[in-house]
Amino acid sequence: MKRICLVCQNVDCKNRGSEEIMKELQQRASDKGLDADWEVKPYMCFGACQEGPNVVLYPEKTWYAGVKKDDVGEIAEHMAGGPDVKRLDTIDASLKDLIYQLLDTGVF
């Protein structure tokens, strides 16, 4: 199964530029030849609106919050096997738990 990179497209994240971030991630993933392994796609909402734009990598369960266009290169690096972008991993465990459980049941 392909790994997925979910980019929130709800109101708040969108207002902060998540549409552009998604396109940029798709482009970078393609450029790195990751299309066979990864699918970058929209998600309706992770419920962390104040901290968006939010990007979740699944099934590995990495959550990047407050993602800016400048961060996209490092996230793509991570998807290609590079290190975690630790400074963007700021979401509290209980919300992660809620969202990861939903993703585990196949809601995406």
Partner 1 sequence: MEGILFPRGVVDGKETLDAYRARGGYQALDKALKRMSPRDVLQEIDASGLRGRGGAGFPTGKKWTFTADTRETPRYVILNGGEDEPGSKKDRLLMENVPHLILEGVILAAYAVGASKAYLYINADYKDAIRAMEEAVADAKKLGYVGERIGGKDFSLEIEFFPAPHDYVAGEDSAVIEVIEGKRPLPRQKPPFPATAGLNAKPTAVNNVETLANVAPIILRGAAWYRGIGTAESAGTMVFSLNDEVKRPGVYELPFGTPLRHLIESCGGGTRDGKKIKAVLPGGPSSAFLSGDQLDVALDHNSVRAAGSSIGCGVIGIVTEDQCIVEEALRIAEFFAKESCGQCPACRMETNTLAMLLRKIQQGQGQAAMLEQFGKVIAFNKGKGFCSLINMPGPPIESAVRLFRGDFEAHLAGKCSSTS
Task: Please choose, from the candidates 66, 68, 56, 70, the residue with its C-alpha nearest in 3D space to the C-alpha of residue 98.
Answer: 56
82 binds partner 1 (CB under 8 A): no
CB of 3 to partner 1, least distance (A): 20
45 binds partner 1 (CB under 8 A): yes
The footprint of partner 1 on this chain (CB under 8 A) covers a number of residues equal to: 17
Q: Which residues contact 81 (CB under 8 A, 6 or more apart)?
A: none
Site string for partner 1, 1-20 (x = CB under 8 A): ---------xxxx-------
101 binds partner 1 (CB under 8 A): yes
Query: Sign of the C-alpha dihedral, residues 66, 67, 69, 70?
Result: positive
Cα-to-chain-centroid distance, residue 100: 13
47 binds partner 1 (CB under 8 A): yes
61 binds partner 1 (CB under 8 A): no
DSSP bridge partners of 64? 55
